[in-house]
Amino acid sequence: MQKQAVSYKSLGLCNSRELFKKAVSGGYAVPAYNFNNLEQLQAIIMACAETKSPVILQVSKGARSYANETLLRYLAQGAVAFAEELGSPVPIVLHLDHGDSFELCKDCIESGFSSVMIDGSHLPYDENVALTKKVVEYAHQFDVTVEGELGVLAGIEDEVSHASHTYTQPEEVEDFVAKTGVDSLAISIGTSHGAFKFKPGEDPKIRLDILAEIEKRIPGFPIVLHGASSVPQELVKVINEHGGKLKDAIGIGEDQLRLAAKSAVCKINIDSDGRLAMTAAVRKVLDEKPEEFDPRKYLGPARDSLKQLYMHKIKNVLGSDGKA
């Protein structure tokens, strides 16, 4: 069956342009929360409606094939209606996380995404420029915003995996932004994908000096942080107390992320912390009530725990509460 192209505008979504402009001038960052199922989406919308925060619903290539792209589109459309129903019609962006090809970005744009990331960070510089430019030229015809990436993050996230990182070189950013026309730029300044970013005893630091140098070269340009989960130790503890085996999971301190959010960083991706919150809640219920077999009895608490985590991030890390 031939698929009918659908514009994000008809779904009630918005692109990231205005959101980032306000975030840069207001000294806060917009949350980018990954989702691939109903409970995650409920938690995101309830948390953002209650705190009046704008939000970026983020979908990876893996999530797209897991949840089915058609269902996802209706879920995003439903999210807009749900927020209105809650009396808080916050701006909602539907964003592709780590797009790895022009074709995937094009497909997402045609199926209702309002924003896409093209991640050419693993390519030689000139190829990254060429690929990113191609996606930007296509996306902008439909008023869809594009995130590019310079520098490589270490860690594992769905299909994206690198053993070591390369910091973004500040001297490349001006040229990259000018040549590609991207709307925002993901950079590598010491954050890392996944829950096992660093070794115990390490005190991971974000290179705020590199961020400042980048900001100096492209003032006011929206910067994005990936791999910014903090891996709350109380969640790791709950998981391990109820049969889990997460060893040595450590993340980035929230105080450092708060500093970054006050600067040119206007989008912070949060995925792993949400996974930990859900897993902790599910494990606790199933361990304490082994007779339980109604999925709502463990997915409900997982959703509530996720909502609390998201509200905490909005208020204490991103600073986006009341900014919708």
CA distances from 205 to 19, 150, 187, 202, 284 (A): 27, 19, 15, 9, 32
Site string for Zn ion, 212-231 (x = CB under 5 A): --------------x-----
Min separation Cβ 157 and Zn ion, Å: 5
86 within 8 A of 48, measured Cβ to Cβ: no
Min separation Cβ 268 and Zn ion, Å: 11
Min separation Cβ 97 and Zn ion, Å: 6
176 within 8 A of 133, measured Cβ to Cβ: no
Q: Quick one: 158 or 304, whose CB is closer to Zn ion?
A: 158
Question: d(Cα 116, Cα 133) in Å, to the nearest integer?
Answer: 13
The encoded tokens of residue 167 equal 């910091």
Cβ burial 98-112 (10 Å sphere, 16+ → b, else e): bbbeeebbbbbbebb
Q: Quick one: 77 or 120, whose CB is closer to Zn ion?
A: 120
Min separation Cβ 191 and Zn ion, Å: 9
CA distances from 285 to 61, 278, 295, 299 (A): 30, 11, 11, 9
Residues 50-69 that bind Zn ion (CB under 5 A): none
In the set 97, 107, 183, 271, the catalytic residue is 97
Q: Is 97 labeled as catalytic in the residue annotation?
A: yes
Residues 240-299 that bind Zn ion (CB under 5 A): none
Angle among Cα 6, 222, 33 to the nearest 5 degrees reads 55
- The 3-state DSSP class for residue 276 equals helix
Min separation Cβ 98 and Zn ion, Å: 6
Q: Quick one: 32 or 264, whose CB is closer to Zn ion?
A: 32
Q: Quick one: 55 or 90, whose CB is closer to Zn ion?
A: 55
State the number of binding residues for Zn ion (CB under 5 A).
1
Min separation Cβ 70 and Zn ion, Å: 24
Min separation Cβ 95 and Zn ion, Å: 11
Question: d(Cα 268, Cα 290) in Å, to the nearest integer?
Answer: 37
- The 3-state DSSP class for residue 60 equals strand
Q: Quick one: 226 or 323, whose CB is closer to Zn ion?
A: 226
Residues 146-205 that bind Zn ion (CB under 5 A): none
Q: Quick one: 282 or 318, whose CB is closer to Zn ion?
A: 318
Question: d(Cα 317, Cα 273) in Å, to the nearest integer?
Answer: 13
Greatest Cα pair distance, the chain, in angstroms, is: 60
Q: Quick one: 270 or 285, whose CB is closer to Zn ion?
A: 270
277 within 8 A of 304, measured Cβ to Cβ: no
CA-derived radius of gyration, the chain: 19
229 within 8 A of 251, measured Cβ to Cβ: yes
DSSP letter for 114, please. Answer: S
Q: Active-site positions?
A: 97
Q: Which residues lie near Zn ion (CB under 5 A)? A: 226
